[in-house]
């Protein structure tokens, strides 16, 4: 029997579901000048266990930034389901051929034309330490109606579920 409360286990499962459904995210690093820098990335690992995997060029700005400051944020929008996930954690860069073979997707040839033999190909592993998600069960139209109603009545709309979890 698990020692963690069911609510926490359910929240972790929901984060996993939302991450898998979104697949495309915004990876935010801290620039060398201290400003936040975000860019879209495609998540490679289908199984989410607290670690996220991305392919990158070793000479890219994002890799240089995380070498100096490994603190990152990864956010996933799932507009079809009106849900959002924000993960905070630490990133590390390193090439592992076996892991790269496991994660490789032929669509990546668009960015890495020589496949796994592309010069400078590396992996970024983000280990999530915490996550927060917003999960709205209603449709966008209902949400827009809720915001309009809130503006008219002065009462906040029902925003759905918001949970924080740690890994």
pLDDT score for 46:
53
Q: Find, among 102, 100, 73, 76, the residue nearest to 14 by Cα.
A: 76
Is residue 85 a part of any domain in this protein? yes
pLDDT score for 9:
80
DSSP string, 127-158: EEEEEEEEE--S-HHHHHHHHHHHHHHSSPPP
Each residue's pLDDT tens digit, 8-63: 788 888 888 888 888 789 999 999 999 999 999 988 865 667 789 999 999 999 99
Is residue 1 a part of any domain in this protein? no
Is residue 109 a part of any domain in this protein? yes
Is residue 59 a part of any domain in this protein? yes
Is residue 42 a part of any domain in this protein? yes
Residue numbers of the domain that contains 50: 6-166
| Gap between the Cα atoms of 137 and 21, Å rounded | 15
| Gap between the Cα atoms of 43 and 23, Å rounded | 5
8 Å CB contact between 39 and 27:
yes
Each residue's pLDDT tens digit, 60-112: 999 999 999 999 999 998 777 788 889 999 999 999 999 999 999 898 999 99
Is residue 65 a part of any domain in this protein? yes
pLDDT score for 118:
96
Q: Find, among 112, 128, 96, the residue nearest to 15 by Cα.
A: 128
pLDDT score for 163:
55
**Per the structure, how many domains does the chain have?**
1
Is residue 79 a part of any domain in this protein? yes
CATH code where residue 112 lies:
2.30.110.10
Each residue's pLDDT tens digit, 132-144: 888 776 544 344 4
Is residue 97 a part of any domain in this protein? yes
């Amino acid at each position: 029997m698990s020692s963690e409360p069911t609510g926490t286990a359910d929240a972790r499962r929901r984060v996993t579901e939302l991450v898998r459904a979104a697949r495309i995210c915004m990876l935010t690093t801290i620039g060398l000048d201290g400003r936040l820098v975000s860019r879209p990335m495609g998540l490679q690992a289908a199984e989410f266990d607290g670690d996220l995997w991305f392919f990158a060029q070793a000479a890219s700005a994002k890799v240089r930034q995380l070498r100096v400051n490994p603190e990152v944020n990864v956010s996933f929008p799932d507009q079809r389901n009106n849900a959002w996930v924000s993960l905070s954690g630490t990133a590390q860069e390193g090439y592992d051929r076996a892991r790269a073979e496991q994660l490789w997707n032929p669509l990546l040839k668009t960015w890495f034309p020589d496949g796994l033999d592309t010069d400078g190909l590396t992996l970024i592993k983000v280990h999530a330490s915490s996550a927060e998600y917003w999960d709205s069960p209603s449709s966008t139209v209902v949400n827009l109606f809720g915001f309009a109603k809130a503006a008219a009545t002065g009462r906040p709309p029902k925003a759905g579920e918001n949970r924080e979890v740690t890994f």
